[in-house]
Amino acid sequence: MSFRDLDNIEVEYQSKRQNVLEDFYIPCLKEAITYKRAVGYFSSSILLHITEGLGSLAMRGGKIQLLISPTLEVKDYEAIKEGYEIREYVSNKLIQKFDLEMEYPQKEDRYALLAHLISNNILDIKIAVVADIGNDQSIFHEKLGIMHDSEGNVISFSGSSNETYNGFVGNYENIDVYCGWKSEDAEERCIKKESRFDMMWEDKEIGLCVIPFPKTIKEEILKYKKDNFDYVELDKNLVRYLNQREHQKATPSTGKIQLYDYQNQAIKSWVEHNYRGIFDMATGTGKTFTGCGAICELYKNKKRVFSIIVCPYIHLVDQWADDVRKFNIEPLLCYGNNGYKKKLERLIRKFKRKTIDFACIIITNQSFYKDNIQNQISKVLNDTLIIVDEAHNFGARMISDCMELDYPYRLALSATLDRYGDPVGTQKLYDFFGDKCITYDLERAIKEKKLTRYYYYPVIVSLDDEELDQYKELSEKIVSYHYNREKDEMPEGLKRLLIRRARIVAGAKNKIYKLLEIMKEYKKENNLLIYCGAIKYNSCEMNEDIDGKKQITIVCDKLINELNMKVAKFTAEESTEMRRNILSAYKNKELQALVAIKCLDEGMNVPAIKTAFILASSTNPKEYIQRRGRVLRKSEGKDFAVIYDFITIPRSLDEAMALPAIYKQQELSLIKKELYRLEDFAKLSENIYDSINARDSIKEAYDIDFITEEDLYD
């Protein structure tokens, strides 16, 4: 094998999102024949954690060049200035440092490895310090690594990590990686970095003083040399120590986190339901923390748990990871091509062999379904807990195939478990997960001040003539379908027609003009959110400015160019890293508004949002409940939220008043669905009477007495 055979070497590693040792460092060292490393600080403790990689390198006759520097304090610089010879002084300083390290646990194994590498001429160490010690703050702060394999491939990396265990695992660190065979740019970087290392190593670099490793320290280390040294096993006591340390680190616990009474009650009810059930909790009321608490309770009672958390999107996997770590859980993140499959296999093997008693993976719906995870999980099924976040997504036909395994422990999390227009899929969810262990709705959450109160303003807009004609044409085709909604799944042809009709409503062009009119009052405000529809205007003879463009693009362009606002798109098209940067700028008020489609619907935590403009909201209660909850999360300095909801009607109210009853009947489907949402939003708002006039004017124009939930499915 060579470096080229390694799966998915990333261009960047971040210590809190990836296991840099297992994902990058050890696999590369196992294929390397030379390793050159320059670091500002080195601790021999790192050798315990990369033994597997160093062993492979050493057994192939490889070489390691390590350029390190002591930690010098102000008094050290002063001593050197007063006449101490820099080489002698630094040597003495290092001797003191290594004497201190001799008190660390497993020092015999650590120095046995160092002794073996040094005595067999595998490891050579040199010391670097800044030559000009006139500035007390001057330090050797290089962090550079180069590896070669037997086929001549080269990898270089640089970043914030020192050559210590915390540098790769404990701290918040980042490294960039360049694989020389992947591009000319990467190859050039590798050449330059190695050339610079060689200049430092030969003491030819301007501004550095490089000296040999002190003989006194080398002789002390060599005292720990062992006969028949085994790189891989090192020592059974060491292996046992590391396993215990890993086990302790992975033990879930609520620690200092205090859950609310309703969260503890939900967990208690779940336990009483034999660790199966549903947490039906409004967006923003702590479903994730309640789920983490459930994991801790299960582990406390059963002493052995393999937990799987399934999320619809990658950003939710990352968000869950941040949350579970607060409960002393270190998860394996599984999605896309991030190289998780081999790690998952290792994790399952360790759990099956009872090397560990707890494990946690967080995985996307897509990877859970497509990557044949079921076969892997079946090996540890007897101890497996499956938690499905935003569980309403799990009722779809393909995903429901993943519910065939008989998981002993099950938990569904959702603010809206019932699937809109899909009673068959909804029933599958209840059959699989069981009963609701808690129902914590929006009204209760606002009343108990877990969510903020809000003001609601319906904005009435109508379709233009072209849109109305298309809407009526599609409606005629839709009513021609006949199927039993209670027993049968919706025909695919009908689904497509409903989606096309919904896009006409979501993309009503008059919404854009109305939004710009309202936004003039907010053009200097922050913490704004605009929800658009996932639609594109294919032909707009009346307005060439929007012809062929997406609604979200038009909204962004007009807010930026006409109102001079600072806004950014927040969609699935932006990379995970870009979305993080956008959210950071938004929280720091460098951006005034986020313009989103669906990416913020489920799970994303952006509590700073204060004012929302909902241009597109389907009649699916799941969607608009999620969106409302997104705006109502509590945040410092946020006393209330404001929601502008664009209510779409087929034609202007004056025109509707004069319309014959038979034509009004054809348009009631849309009217009733929009009114249902309006009433649902209005009833919990602080200004319910502001909505009554809008509601009553629409009812009067269309001769409507009342609406029910059944009207949503017409």
Instruction: Give percent above pLDDT 70 in the chain.
Output: 77
- Residue range 669-681, pLDDT digits in tens: 778 888 888 988 9
- Residue 565 is predicted with a pLDDT of 95
**Fold match flag (251-446 vs 452-713):** yes
Class in CATH terms, 452-713: alpha beta
Q: Given a cut of 50, is residue 712 above it in pLDDT?
A: no
Q: Is the sign of the CA dihedral 319, 324, 325, 326 positive or negative?
A: positive
Contacts of 608 (CB under 8 A, 6+ apart): 527, 586, 587, 635, 638
What is the pLDDT confidence band of residue 561, given thresholds at 50, 70 and 90? very high
- Residue 641 is predicted with a pLDDT of 93
- Residue 285 is predicted with a pLDDT of 87
Secondary structure class of 219 (helix, strand, coil): helix
The mean pLDDT value for 573-578 works out to 77
Q: Given a cut of 60, is residue 81 above it in pLDDT?
A: no
Instruction: Tell me the chain's radius of gyration from C-alpha atoms.
Output: 31
The mean pLDDT value for 580-604 works out to 79
Higher pLDDT, 236 or 529: 529
Token pair belonging to 351: 């759990």
Predicted structure pTM score: 0.61
- Residue 90 is predicted with a pLDDT of 52
Confirm or reject CATH 3.90.180.10 for domain 3-233, answering yes or no: no
* Cα atoms found within 13 Å of the Cα of residue 543, Cβ hemisphere only: 12
Contacts of 230 (CB under 8 A, 6+ apart): none
What's 269-287 look like in SS3? HHHHCCCEEEEEECCCCCH
Question: Which of 58-72, 468-482, 675-689 has the largest mean confidence?
Answer: 675-689
- Residue 239 is predicted with a pLDDT of 40
The mean pLDDT value for 305-334 works out to 90
Q: Residue ranges of the domains in the chain?
A: 3-233, 251-446, 452-713
Taking Cα atoms as reference points, which of 278, 323, 327 lies closest to residue 305? Answer: 327
The mean pLDDT value for 472-476 works out to 83
Which CATH superfamily hosts domain 251-446?
A: P-loop containing nucleotide triphosphate hydrolases (3.40.50.300)
Question: Which of 252-266, 290-304, 314-328, 624-638 has the largest mean confidence?
Answer: 290-304
Q: Given a cut of 70, is residue 478 above it in pLDDT?
A: yes
Secondary structure class of 706 (helix, strand, coil): coil
- Residue 101 is predicted with a pLDDT of 44
Q: Given a cut of 90, is residue 195 above it in pLDDT?
A: yes
Indicate the Cα dihedral angle 604, 606, 609, 614, nearest 10°. Answer: -10
- Residue range 641-666, pLDDT digits in tens: 999 999 988 888 888 888 787 777 77
Higher pLDDT, 375 or 617: 375
- Residue 472 is predicted with a pLDDT of 83
- Residue range 485-531, pLDDT digits in tens: 666 677 788 878 888 888 888 888 899 999 999 999 999 999 999 98
Higher pLDDT, 403 or 75: 403
Secondary structure class of 569 (helix, strand, coil): strand
Higher pLDDT, 635 or 96: 635
> Which range is least confidently modeled, 21-30, 254-263, 430-439, 443-452?
21-30
- Residue 89 is predicted with a pLDDT of 52
What is the pLDDT confidence band of residue 100, given thresholds at 50, 70 and 90? very low
Q: Is 712 left (phi over 0), alpha (psi -120 to 50) or beta?
A: alpha
Q: Is the sign of the CA dihedral 313, 331, 12, 376 positive or negative?
A: negative
CB count, 10 Å around CB of 619? 22
Distance CA 604, CA 614 (A): 17
Q: Given a cut of 60, is residue 627 above it in pLDDT?
A: yes
Determine contact, residues 640/454, Cβ cutoff 8 Å: yes
The mean pLDDT value for 72-94 works out to 49
- Residue 667 is predicted with a pLDDT of 78
Residue type, 28: C
- Residue range 374-410, pLDDT digits in tens: 888 889 999 999 999 988 877 666 666 777 889 999 9
What is the pLDDT confidence band of residue 458, given thresholds at 50, 70 and 90? very high
> Which range is least confidently modeled, 72-81, 187-196, 347-356, 473-482?
72-81
* Cα atoms found within 13 Å of the Cα of residue 40, Cβ hemisphere only: 15
What is the pLDDT confidence band of residue 103, given thresholds at 50, 70 and 90? very low
> Which range is least confidently modeled, 220-224, 257-261, 341-345, 693-697?
220-224
The mean pLDDT value for 196-223 works out to 80
Residue 513 sits at the vertex; the CA angle it makes with 511 and 516, to the nearest 5 degrees, is: 105
Determine what percent of the chain falls in helix, strand and coil, rounding each to the nearest 5.
Answer: 45, 20, 35
Token pair belonging to 535: 């639609």
Higher pLDDT, 362 or 471: 362
Distance CA 128, CA 146 (A): 17
